[in-house]
Chains A and B, each alone.
Chain A
Amino acid sequence: GAVVSQHPSRVICKSGTSVKIECRSLDFQATTMFWYRQFPKQSLMLMATSNEGSKATYEQGVEKDKFLINHASLTLSTLTVTSAHPEDSSFYICSARRGGTYEQYFGPGTRLTVT
């Protein structure tokens, strides 16, 4: 149990285009999902917290107009990188918190390359 999926696993896009990444909790309900970014050889950095039915909260320094988050249901959150630039190239990971617990489960990640 406690499986989280992400789609796509890998995406290459041209500079200036937008990319949407989906995060789904497959076998549990997640009122809260989190989006992280990880650069090579570094730890995970939290970008934003996504709560079902309400606006996402963003960490300091993360542009909310560039990284659009939608948490439309208890099992789906999406991250859209708008007007992507090469510096947005990174590994994006989502996690979902099982309702009523402190436990978080992570998706397999999406590797974004902007050319």
Chain B
Amino acid sequence: GIQVEQSPPDLILQEGANSTLRCNFSDSVNNLQWFHQNPWGQLINLFYIPSGTKQNGRLSATTVATERYSLLYISSSQTTDSGVYFCAVLTTDSWGKFQFGAGTQVVVTP
């Protein structure tokens, strides 16, 4: 099956800093989503981005499908950005089942 690798595994940021999270995948995908899991466990959809670039406030994401990677940018980080960021992908033969990466644990300090 498809492999999904996220880096870095852990990230500590000072409030106001910018950062980039990466997601590499080993096969073509129909769907790629970025999620933020807050400290209470809720998974929040950030982006549905199988290709191209999207922006939503301080967050933006770019997926280069031909090179099999996606990037999530966090600008001017805030303490509320703390949590785990997951990348998840769907392939044509996955029957709609997401394959999740291991996640990036982000801690933003005041």
Contacts and interface: CB of A to CB of B under 8 A. Distances in A.
A43 B102 contact: yes
Contacts of B42: 106, 108-109
B42 to A, nearest CB: 5
12 contacts: A34-B98, A42-B102, A43-B100, A43-B101, A43-B103, A46-B98, A49-B97, A102-B30, A102-B31, A102-B96, A108-B40, A109-B42
Contacts of A62: none
Interface residues of B, number: 21
Interface of A: 2, 32, 34, 38, 42-44, 46, 49, 91, 93, 95, 97, 102-106, 108-109, 111
Interface in B39-85: 40-43, 45, 48, 50
Contact of B43 (A49, A93, A97, A111): A93
Nearest to B43: A106
Contact of B31 (A34, A93, A103, A108): A103
Given A43-B100, A44-B100, A91 B31 contact: no
A42 B90 CA distance: 20
A17 B83 CA distance: 33
Q: Which 9 A-B pairs have the closest CB atoms?
A: A102-B31, A106-B43, A109-B41, A108-B42, A43-B100, A44-B100, A43-B102, A103-B48, A43-B103
